[in-house]
Structure formats: structure tokens, C-alpha cells
Amino acid sequence: MSSEELRKKFLKFFEERGHKIISSASLIPENDPTTLFTSSGMQPLVPYLMGEPHPLGKRLVDIQKSFRAEDIEEVGDNRHTTFFEMMGNWSLGDYFKKEQLNWLFEFLIEELKLNPQKLYVSVFRGNKEIGIERDLESVEIWKDIFKKNGIEAKDVDFAEKKGIDNGRIFYYDESKNWWSRSGAPNEMPIGEIGGPDSEVFYDFGEELKRHENSKYKNQPCHINCGCGRFVEIGNSVFIEFINTNKGFKPLPQKNVDFGGGLERLVAILQGEKNIFKTDLFIDILKKIEMLSGLKYENNMLPFEVIADHLRAATFIMGDDKGVAPSNVSQGYVVRRLIRRAIRYGQQIEIKQDLWIQEIAQVIIDKYKSVYPELERNAKFIMDNLANEGIKFEKTLEKGLKELEKLFDNYKGNFKNFVLDEKSLFNLYQTYGFPFELSIEEINRKRVQAGGTPMSKETEGNLLKLFREEIKKHQELSRTAAAGKFRGGLLDTSFKTRSLHTACHLLGAALRQVLGEGVRQKGSNITAERLRFDFSYPEKLTNEQIKKVEEIVNEIIKNNLPVSFKEIPLKEAKEEGAIGVFESKYGEKVKVYMIGKEDEWVSKEICGGPHAKSTGELGHFKIIKEESSSAGVRRIKAILE
Ligand code: SER
């Protein structure tokens, strides 16, 4: 079964069960301070999971473009990619566990013809401290489902210690069987929603971990051990709780959030144990074989990293809110993906100029029928790849110069020269100079002085210390990010709504002052401020900033009503509503209007929520105007 067929079958299966098909949201989230990228199907639907009515009702199905930067180091095992497509079905306060688990199983067995003997499931063990019970309801439903398929399903606790133990249903704690945007219950800020989940795993029948020094060697194998034998193919999250300052409370509605990795299911359906060996990647890998003259089978890691990273970068740049490589937030991630791909390309000795563009073209061709935005934005993708390639070359030059300085400062004999991990990390962090290149240069110096290259053991030890430096740094920035996040959502209600409405007013005012060509490129709201990115080639003058503030404050003073209606996307566009929203299915969208009939000051396609009228907002003030990336400006503003 092709990936194309799987997408269709999934949407159709749930459509036949009363679900409305919705299009993938952008990879760049709107007003979501929790992550830089849309990393799950749930993110764009948060307002509806919290109770806002969705224009299409209570049952939805979609395939969401997703990106998880945290999986960058996992690429090269058999099942992780940074970008992936997440198949999702949604009950917004409609059906619950019984329907969900039965339908999911039916889809896997009847539609995809998977062998039920190969399926295993996990459920939440429960946690007294947070007052959430063991999910025995799901266990009973699973037992029943397996029984209908001729399987006596035994439930096993503590497989982490016991191994599989002839079980079929396994209990795990909140690190495995709980889902929220911010992770386990103790990571969830006040106001965040989440719940226990139940995952389905497919058994490949043998350990597959390809990373050297597998940490799984001496542990019992179980469905969550990570050795690669079992691959998680789907997660049914029962989003029924909200974290409050009095602990977890039930949400007004019980939701189902199912997410299944398309790439993984395609692998299983195509009889492969590795997602890169599927129709999704085959053309990309062939292209890399042509460019390098080497075989994929003998160079799996570099091939897979190149294919993964360039696919992800192509999708992020090819989004209608496309982000260019830069040194900040999302742009930094794109930069890292492209540069890492180039480095791996050098490792397999690809020499052609602009080869990354050739691979991006293969990716665009493969995906454009499903994601037409890639073709629409092809020029943006290609231009940025070319620029980034050139910039990276320059960076490498600078790094080499810095290294030369370090050599000059050294007073001893170069025969035994090594650098400490801090210098290596500094070269990497400040100059983007990769570890392996530093080692190559050091070895060159040693050989010149009549010595030999450093031993593999020394190199290995250095690499270990270097990685520890990276980790320390990541932990520091993660702590900073977590701090920001906590601050960000502490007050989810009134202030955030007001700032969100202010975003719309700001967009409208910018178009008035700078011209209708101004396009929103992303936004982000915390309890303290809003951040708004938009396309504009120059720095704003003080007069322009002042004018924008005046327009927004004037609208606030006039206390205009905020209203919305639900209409088909086509109509919304015809009426001149703005907003990035792609629809392949002609679905209805929410349009938020500020002002009075026929005198709207703003009309935008948007999920909400918003203030009821502009008078609620207070005084609007721009606190910063700066560059975000090439051709994109960023404004930070507050409501006083
Ligand atoms: N939100 C869940 C996940 O990302 C299921 O969609 O795994």
C-alpha cells in the first residue's frame, strides 16, 4: 500500500464514521508559546479541546504536518524523523474510550490488514499523588477487542523489570502514558490540558537498534524499551483534565486526541522495518546515491540524516508562513537542519554545487500533490538553500581562521597537540564549526609536525566530553525555555484573549501604515506581551511605529465589538478575510470581525478565542521593533 493510499484510507474510514476532514494547519503555530513548531495534531486544536465550538462539529479527522526538533539525534534508528505526518482523529466532547479503541483496532486490522498477533498496547498505570486512577476502563476494552480477535490478552505491570512476560497489555507511568503539550503531569503549567493515553505498538520481531553502544543490550526487552523491535504506531490520548491551582480537574468535556505516525505505518504496510525504506524516501535516497556515487545500504546514517533534514527544512521553508534560516528561534532550527545536511553530504563526498537544491526538488515533486504549498513556495525554498549554502562556506572559513589562532597561541610541540572540549565546543557554538572538522585540522597539524593522527580512543573521549558540553548547554536553554513557558501560560484567560485581539488590530494597523502587502509571518503570546512577525523589507521609522500605536489605540478607545461567523473558506476569501489557511476539502472556517457591519477594521480567519470588544484591551504599546529574518520584521507589544 502506498503512502498516498494510506492517507486516503485513514481519512475515509473516519469520514464514514461521522468525522469531518480538516486540512493540516501550518507548521508555524499561531499564538502558542509552548513550542516553536507544530509538533502534534493537537496543538492547533487546543481551543476546541477546551470547549470552543468547532465550526465543523465534534468529530474531526486530519493529517497534520509536524516537526520535532528534539528527535534530531534519533534520526538513524529505524523509526524517527524530525518532520513527520501525524494522522489524527478527534472527538471534541463526543465519543470516548470505547469507540476510539474499537475503531482504531478495526482500522488497523480490517482496513490495513495488520496481523493482530503483532499488536501490543500500553495503558496508564495511574498515580495516586495526582489523584488519577489506573486506566482499567481501557484495559477492559482492550481485553474485549483482543478476545474478539482470538487473543487472550494478559495485562502486565512493570514490564520495565520483567520484560514481556507473555503480556499483551502493559501499564506504564506518566513518562510514557500521559500526554500534554508540555509533557508529564508535573511539567504542566496551570491552565494546560492533557490526560492519560493508550498506545498501540507493532512487533517487528527482533531487536533493531542500529546505534552503536546500544544502551538496551542489558535490559529486558519490552514494548517501550527503545531497541527498535516494537514500534509505536499510534496514541489515543484521553484529554479530560486541566491543571488548576487546586490540582487536576476534569475538563467540561472529555476529548479523544488520536495521533498516528504516517511514516511508521507506511513502513509496516510496505513490509519494511525502517521508515526510510518506504516510498516516501526512496526517490530522495536514489538522488543521494547519484550525487555521491555511493550506496545507501553502506552509508545509512549520512543518507538518512540528509534525507530527513532536507525534507524537514523544505517543509518549514515551504509553509505558507515559511521561515528562512537565521540565528533566532525557528530560523535557527532551519539553519541547523541545512548545515547538518551539508556536513553529512561532505562526509559522503558530494561535490556538486547546489546539490541541496536538487534534493529539495525531488522532495517537492514527491509531496506537491498532497501539500501544494511546497510548489507555491518553491522559489523561496530554493533561494534560501542557495544563500545558506554560501553562508555556511563562509562560516567554515571563519572557523578555520579561529582554529589557526588557537594553533598560533600554542607553544609546545604539535606532534601531540589536542584541544580541550571547551575550545571545541566554542568553535562549534560560535562559529558553527563542526567537531569532525576540528579533529581533521588538528590531525593535519600533528602530521605536519612529524607526529601521527590522534588515536581513536583519544578522539572518542574528546567526542564524549564535547557531547557533554552540548548537553549542558541544551539543559541551560531548556531550563530557560521551560521558565518562559510557565510564565507564558499562567494566565490563559483574559489577558491572552486581549493580546490575541491586539494581534489582529496590530496587523490591520500595519497594513494601513505600511501597505496592504504586509503579511503576517507568525505570532506568539505570553501573559506579558505579544510578538508579531510580518513581511516588510525595512526597519520601521519612529513615526511609523507611533502611527501604528495611534491607530490601535483609537480602535480600542472606540470600544468596537468583536464577533465571528462560520463560513466556507472560499466565501471567507471572497469576502476579503485575511489569514493563512489552506483547504483541500472546502471546509468551514471561523472568521473573526472587529468593528461594525461593512465597516470592519479587521476581518481574519482565526480559531479564537478573543476579547468581546476592543474596549477591554487597555493601552497598546510597542516595546520593540527588530529584524526577525531576511524580509521579516518583529514587533513586541504590551497592553498596559
Ligand atoms: N497528541 C498525541 C501525540 O502527539 C496524539 O495525537 O502523540
pLDDT tens string 132-162: 999 999 999 999 999 999 999 999 999 999 9
Question: What's the confidence (pLDDT) of residue 32?
Answer: 72
Crossing angle for the helix pair 3-15 and 262-269, to the nearest 10 degrees: 110
Query: pTM for the whole thing?
Result: 0.79
Atom 3 of ligand 1, nearest CA residue = 259
Q: Which atom of ligand 1 is nearest the CA belonging to 235?
A: 5
Cα of 120 to ligand 1 centre, how many Å? 18
- Element housing 430 (H / E): helix 421-431
Question: Any idea where the domains of the chain sit in the sequence?
Answer: 3-276, 281-390, 410-485, 494-639
The mean pLDDT value for 60-83 works out to 92
Inform me whether the pLDDT recorded for 397 exceeds 90.
Answer: no
Q: Which atom of ligand 1 is nearest the CA belonging to 236?
A: 5
At residue 504 the predicted structure's pLDDT band, cuts being 50, 70 and 90, is very high
The mean pLDDT value for 517-521 works out to 86
Distances (CA, A) of 604 to 507, 529, 589: 10, 21, 10
- The proportion of the chain whose per-residue pLDDT surpasses 70, expressed as a percent, equals 94
636, 639, 638: which is closest to 531 by C-alpha? 636
Ligand 1 pocket, mutate which of 179, 180, 238, 255 (most atoms under 8 A from CB):
179
Q: Which atom of ligand 1 is nearest the CA belonging to 66?
A: 4
Atom 6 of ligand 1, nearest CA residue = 259
With a Cβ cut-off of 6 Å, ligand 1 is lined by 40-42, 88, 179, 235, 237, 257-259
- Residue keyed to cell 466532547: 93
Cβ neighbours around 640 below 10 Å, total: 7
Cα of 178 to ligand 1 centre, how many Å? 10
Atom 2 of ligand 1, nearest CA residue = 259
Atom 5 of ligand 1, nearest CA residue = 259
Cα of 71 to ligand 1 centre, how many Å? 15
Inform me whether the pLDDT recorded for 268 exceeds 80.
Answer: yes
Cα of 341 to ligand 1 centre, how many Å? 28
Ligand 1 pocket, mutate which of 49, 91, 197 (most atoms under 8 A from CB):
197
- Taking the C-alpha atoms of residue 507 and residue 520, their distance in angstroms, rounded to an integer, is 7
> Which homologous superfamily does the CATH classification assign to the domain defined by 3-276?
Bira Bifunctional Protein; Domain 2 (3.30.930.10)
- Element housing 257 (H / E): strand 247-261
The residues facing 460 across adjacent strands are none
Residue 244: exposed, middle, or buried by beta-carbon count in 10 A (0-12, 13-18, 19+)?
Answer: exposed
Cα of 546 to ligand 1 centre, how many Å? 43
Question: What's the confidence (pLDDT) of residue 590?
Answer: 85
Atom 4 of ligand 1, nearest CA residue = 40
At residue 493 the predicted structure's pLDDT band, cuts being 50, 70 and 90, is low
Query: Could you read off the pLDDT of 538-591 as tens digits, one per residue?
Result: 999 999 999 999 999 999 999 999 999 988 888 888 888 887 666 666 678 889
Q: Which atom of ligand 1 is nearest the CA belonging to 88?
A: 6
For the domain bounded by 494-639, which CATH number is listed? 3.30.980.10
Cα of 484 to ligand 1 centre, how many Å? 23
Cα of 200 to ligand 1 centre, how many Å? 12
Rounded to 5°, angle at Cα 263 from 259 and 264? 75
